Structure 1
Amino acid sequence: MNAPHRFFPGLAAACLVTPVAVCWAADPASPTPHRVKLVPFRIEARIEGVFEPPAMAEVRLDTRRTGQFSVTKVVPHGTRVGKGDVLVEVDTEALDEEIADQTLAGRLADIAHDLLEKELKIVEKGTPLWLEMARTTRRRLTEDLARYEDKEKALAKGLNDVILEFNEFSRENAEEELAQLEKMYKQDDLTEETEEIVLKRARFEAKIARFFATLARDRHERMATLDLPRELDALRKSSAVSALDLEQAEGRLPLALERLRLNVEKSAADRRESARKLAAAKALRRLLPVTAPLDGTVYYGRFHQGRWVDVDNASQQLRPGGQFDTRQALLTVIGNGRLAVRASVPEKDLSRVPAAAEARIVPKAFPEGAYPGRVRSVSAVPVSTGKFEALIDLLEDQPRVVAGMEAEVRVTADQRPDVLAVPRKAVFTDEFDGGRRYVLVVTGAGKEPMKRVVTVGRSNEELTEITAGLSVGEEILLEKPPAPKSEAAPAKPEAAKPDAAKAEAPAATPEPAKNEPAKTEAQAAPAAEAGAPQPAKDAADKPAPPQK
């Protein structure tokens, strides 16, 4: 309640005779005091959000295989569906052909792999044998060459000479025997018939001997000039070739075996990759056509952090002839049930939105309704710069409200019926005293207010809770008082009545001089008001400095 202003003649006289006088009570522009009392106190935060369902599922094909399909049929936006209902039908002809081709390729790959494995087993068994055979051949040819050069070459040459000599001797012997017979038969010792028989036989044997002698000479020449050198050359070349064969076998066969093993491993890897692709294609085929994962309502787009995104893109693709990409979630099925609100909480209001706090939810579509709710959770970290996220549950079913609607949420962080609270503008901050909070306590009519340090609690848009430093019934100023008015020169003495001024002086409290220390609340009280009731004194009470 505002106290009435009174005019004190003594105070007026004091103003005339005092060099610098402060007229607190006589100033009609003095701040209006506020009486401290217990009031209802409520702290509320108003945040905005979007309704979201208790359950929802993005329609995304859960497969490693990616691809695009031409849409042939799709359910409209907002359609209510049951679990398993067809949402999107696509053209699967190309996928079916790919599955058939991969199945055939897989069978061929299996056969090729089996052949490689069998070949590997043979090569693993044969490689040691082939190496040993090459080493044996090399050893034998080396031995044959050495023996031929050491012994057989000379023996072959000697045999060739002996054969020639034998045939020459046989020829000479046959011719000599024929000559003796002819000489003997000329003496007519035998009959002519016998003579002819013996001479005929001798002549034939001489002829045969001469032929064999001629043949022996030819063979001797051939053996000496061709066969023996060629045999030696062949042995030497065979030995050299066997050395190369052994070197190649020792270098090539192990590498060929290792390459075959790697080919078997690669074939197995190719088979696994082919089987994986085939399995992925079959898995994708089993997911087509696209069906609803749960009962609910079909929405185009995705619900992300309380907002629907990609709606236009989904509308363009989800039409006959559009391209449906298996990597994108173009549809969302909103489940049935009680909704919640996902709201953005400014950092300054974070303390006013605690978990489990009661709330009132006002849909923007139906501002006349305020539905009860409760804060389910608040994010521990910001979701964007200066923004946190809160989930507020509706406590009752509201059929008119659907997911995606916007709402204002009024969260009640604190509500008490009787709290000692004062207007926020009545609590000041002393920037030169560590930011301590204080109020200006009214000490009486015509007296300067006293600065008192207080302990503050929570605040709302209008009030600040005082937890220590004030009592119910005290009066405080709602704003700092204006600067005091002063006279530069004293008034003429004859214009004032000294006796009257002296009699009325106790009724006014003059302002302390600038160089004088400020009076306390007890020192400032006049003797005439000693019997009047005084507010409770506080050790922190100080005179309020005038507002500059």
Structure 2
Amino acid sequence: MIRVLSPISVVMAAALVAHAAQSAEITIEKRPFAIRHSIAATALPGEVVLLELGAAAWTDYEIMRIAPHGSRVSKGDVLVAFDPEKIDQKLHDTRKANDKSAHEIAQAALDLKLLEQTTPQRLEALRRAASEASEENSYFTNIRRKADAEAADQKLKRAEMFLENQREELRQLQKMYEADDLTEETEEIILVRQKDLVQAAEFDFRMQQLAQKRSHEVLLPREALKLADAERDAAIALAKYEQEAPIAIARKKLELEALEIAAAREKESLAKLEADRKQFDFTAPADGLFYHGVIENGRWTTGDAVKSLVTYGKPAARRPFATLIPATAPMNLAASLKGDAAGQLGPDAAGVAWLAGREDAEFPVKLMDINPAPGPDGQFSATFSAQWPEGLNAAPASSANISVIAYQTPDAIVLPSKALQSDTAGWTVAVKLADGKTERRPVKRGRVFNDECEILSGLEPGQVVVVP
């Protein structure tokens, strides 16, 4: 059981030690020894609701109205309202973009389906065209060119024979009519007609000569080149399409996939914007007090962030900017402890506290928790529960002081810390003997506080210790 010593006892004991120290000799006697810490603290609630803009996609939050700092609010009251005009326009544009993406995906899917369906048909048509071109060229080269050349020769030969026949018939008619020594009018008509036939046969023969020459020298070589080119072009078109078709299908698939990915991202962006839109009105989840700034980790933080908590201000996203203190939240005391105090205070450390300006109203406190890791300032955050007196209302962030006893014993041997020396054997003190000489005696050191050290063993009451 820990017994709290009165401040007067501790002060008197310290005065006796100081008086003895002036004589450089201390007569050992047992007296109370205590380690008491005076700690600056702040009254902070044990439960808070932090207001934070999650801002998954939107960061431009402009305040239209905000509840005053320190105002008392009821559940459902609007704490902060932001201007939604810009995000509503962005939501409208994003929804339109999503609709457009859906149509583009549908069109791309249809194009891919048609391409996959028509590719085999077109490939078969190109193969058939290449085969026909090859057959036509082969047939012309091996058979038809020679046949067409022979046909042209034959036509010329028939024209020549027909011309000879017509000439011969004209000669026969002339001989026959010359024998009569008289050419009748009818016979003259027959001769004229036969001469016309000869002239026509001569003309036809000349035309066949030209046609036969053109066929051999121009038409047949030209058709040979045309058919060879057609065979070559058909083969190239087939080979080209055989290589391009899989690439075209793959490209269409990639285009469709890219559209689907972009659409998915647009949908995700829309979902984030819709979620962010719900944050444009913060309402109180419970009755309580509304504070500008953040109450977190035993501190009420304001700084430059609080300057933005005004109309047309823009709080930073993704970090708390205000705090709701529920009316049911217990009010604790938060403090920062130096390393020695943090190490000396046990889990049941208790003491008293008072608010600044109300030193007359002390109340009991008890240590609740100490952070095992120090903060950037090298101090350890601690929380004390408080038994608040009736009628004493501590506003959040009020200053307070705590007096807590970390250790005490009613009958201890206490020496100034400078009376002890250490070596390889441990701690020793100089004890004055009866003959006036001194002897160093080993001792076991206990707790140390305010330049005083508790001696656990090695000395007895009545002995005299020489302080250097």
Matched, 1:456 2:448: no
Structure 1 unpaired stretches of 5+: 1-28, 481-546
Q: Which residue of 1 aligns with 2:258?
A: 266
Matched, 1:406 2:395: no
Measured after TM superposition, the shift of residue 113 of structure 1 is 0.7
1:492-515 deviations in Å (ceiling 9; x for gaps): xxxxxxxxxxxxxxxxxxxxxxxx
1:112 is paired with a residue of what secondary structure? helix
Q: Is the 8 A contact 2:443 2:457 kept in 1?
A: yes
Indicate which of 37, 41, 50 corresponds to 2:42: 50
Indicate which of 431, 447, 451 corresponds to 1:440: 431
Q: Is the 8 A contact 1:439 1:454 kept in 2?
A: no
Matched, 1:110 2:99: no
Q: Which residue of 1 aligns with 2:130?
A: 138
RMSD between aligned alpha carbons? Answer: 3.4
Measured after TM superposition, the shift of residue 179 of structure 1 is 5.2
1:239-295 deviations in Å (ceiling 9; x for gaps): 232343234223322222222111111101110111112112211112212333444
Q: Which residue of 1 aligns with 2:457?
A: 468
Measured after TM superposition, the shift of residue 30 of structure 1 is 6.0
Q: Which residue of 2 aligns with 1:532?
A: none
The aligned amino acid for 1:411 is V
1:42-95 deviations in Å (ceiling 9; x for gaps): 332222232221222221122311321332211111112234321222222221
Change in CA separation of 1:196 and 1:91 when aligned onto 2, cut-off 3 Å: farther
Measured after TM superposition, the shift of residue 211 of structure 1 is 5.4
Q: Is the 8 A contact 1:71 1:90 kept in 2?
A: yes
Q: Is the 8 A contact 1:352 1:411 kept in 2?
A: no
In structure 2, C-alpha distance between the alignment counterparts of 1:351 and 1:289, rounded to whole Å: 46
In structure 2, C-alpha distance between the alignment counterparts of 1:426 and 1:390, rounded to whole Å: 29
In structure 2, C-alpha distance between the alignment counterparts of 1:30 and 1:231, rounded to whole Å: 137
Q: Is the 8 A contact 1:442 1:449 kept in 2?
A: yes
Q: Which residue of 2 aligns with 1:167?
A: 159
Q: Is the 8 A contact 1:427 1:438 kept in 2?
A: no
Indicate which of 233, 250, 257 corresponds to 2:249: 257
In structure 1, C-alpha distance between the alignment counterparts of 2:77 and 2:169, rounded to whole Å: 125
Q: Is the 8 A contact 2:298 2:383 kept in 1?
A: no
Question: Structure 1 stretch 455-464 or stretch 227-236: which is displaced more?
Answer: 455-464
1:166-213 deviations in Å (ceiling 9; x for gaps): 23333433454455456657788xxx9997998898678667655544
Q: Which residue of 2 aligns with 1:429?
A: 420
Measured after TM superposition, the shift of residue 118 of structure 1 is 1.6
The aligned amino acid for 1:321 is Y
1:354-410 deviations in Å (ceiling 9; x for gaps): 223223232224233322222122122221354222122224477521221222222
Q: Is the 8 A contact 2:292 2:306 kept in 1?
A: yes
**TM-score, length-scaled by structure 2:** 0.82
Q: Is the 8 A contact 1:427 1:439 kept in 2?
A: no
In structure 2, C-alpha distance between the alignment counterparts of 1:183 and 1:452, rounded to whole Å: 180
In structure 1, C-alpha distance between the alignment counterparts of 2:87 and 2:426, rounded to whole Å: 73
Q: Whose helix proportion is higher, 1 or 2?
A: 2
1:7-86, aligned counterparts within 5 Å?
34=27, 36-37=29-30, 39-86=31-78
Change in CA separation of 1:321 and 1:379 when aligned onto 2, cut-off 3 Å: closer
Measured after TM superposition, the shift of residue 311 of structure 1 is 3.9
Q: Percent identity?
A: 26
In structure 1, C-alpha distance between the alignment counterparts of 2:117 and 2:294, rounded to whole Å: 63
1:229-378, aligned counterparts within 5 Å?
229-315=221-307, 317-336=308-327, 337-378=329-370
Measured after TM superposition, the shift of residue 462 of structure 1 is 7.9
Q: Which residue of 1 aligns with 2:11?
A: none
1:275-324 deviations in Å (ceiling 9; x for gaps): 11211221111221233344422211223543333444323x22223234
Change in CA separation of 1:181 and 1:433 when aligned onto 2, cut-off 3 Å: closer
In structure 2, C-alpha distance between the alignment counterparts of 1:350 and 1:420, rounded to whole Å: 25
Change in CA separation of 1:432 and 1:470 when aligned onto 2, cut-off 3 Å: closer
Matched, 1:124 2:113: no
Measured after TM superposition, the shift of residue 110 of structure 1 is 0.5
The aligned amino acid for 1:440 is V
